[in-house]
Amino acid sequence: MKFFIDTANLNDIQEAYDLGVLDGVTTNPSLMAKEGISGHDNVIAHYKAICDIVDDNVSAEVIATDFEGMIKEGKELAQIDDKIVVKVPMIKDGVKAIKHFTSEGIRTNCTLVFSAGQAILAAKAGASYVSPFIGRLDDIGYDGLELIEQIVQIYDNYGYATEVLAASVRHTMHLIQCAEIGADVATCPLKVITSLLNHPLTDKGLEQFLADHAKANG
């Protein structure tokens, strides 16, 4: 499974990359605003700075909600770097835009997906990634992981090339369960990735090894 980090924070991206497990980055307007990035030129420059850190797969989201606007913005984003994946919302014009981008060889990430039907449309249009938001579904009483499992099964049934990108991943069990049910990618904050390092028996074992070494070597 690929690990993407869901942030616009350059320090977090660098830390995840240095750990040696990072496969990409997802961002959105909210994450850009959280980092104080505003203004067209600053946003474009920030995307380029992210691309300069990672090896591939930087999802950059369009703001427009009409077909022509999405095509214009998406093409501009794609020109920043070959690593850019244009992030498009799951709306009617978004599906049309995904089809257009696919025909031009521009990779896409269909975002704000909350049903299997939406995921089918994204795959039919040729999306590179589809992003079901599991945490947000959990928040309203639905099982987000069940949706991931359903989409994985449908894609396997028909051999769709679209990768299932589990988004809104809130904690390590989300991440592990996504891996168990076959999600191609999980995107999450840095703390979720680094939390995978932690286990009390690892800490206890290391403490014992070091104590025994110090005792034996005076």
CA distance 45 to 112: 25
Q: Return the structure tokens found at 98.
A: 């995904």
Helix (H) or strand (E) holding 119: helix 116-125
CA distance 19 to 16: 5
Q: Are 126 and 104 in contact (CB under 8 A)?
A: no
Output the pLDDT for position 98.
Answer: 98
CA distance 38 to 89: 20
Residue the block writes with tokens 């794609």 = 78
Beta strand segments in 90-207, E? 108-113, 129-132, 163-166, 185-188
Would the pTM count as exceeding 0.75?
Answer: yes
188 φ, ψ (degrees, to nearest 5): -160, 165
Output the pLDDT for position 80.
Answer: 97
Output the pLDDT for position 35.
Answer: 95
CA 143 to chain centre: 19
Residues tagged active-site: 87
CA distance 72 to 8: 22
Output the pLDDT for position 23.
Answer: 98
Per-residue pLDDT of the chain (218 residues; tens, 9 = 90+): 999 999 999 999 999 999 999 999 999 888 999 999 999 999 999 999 999 999 999 999 999 999 999 999 999 999 999 999 999 999 999 999 999 999 999 999 999 999 999 999 999 999 999 999 999 998 898 999 999 999 999 999 999 999 999 999 999 999 999 999 999 999 999 999 999 998 889 888 888 888 888 888 87
SS3 154: helix
Output the pLDDT for position 149.
Answer: 96
CA distance 62 to 32: 12
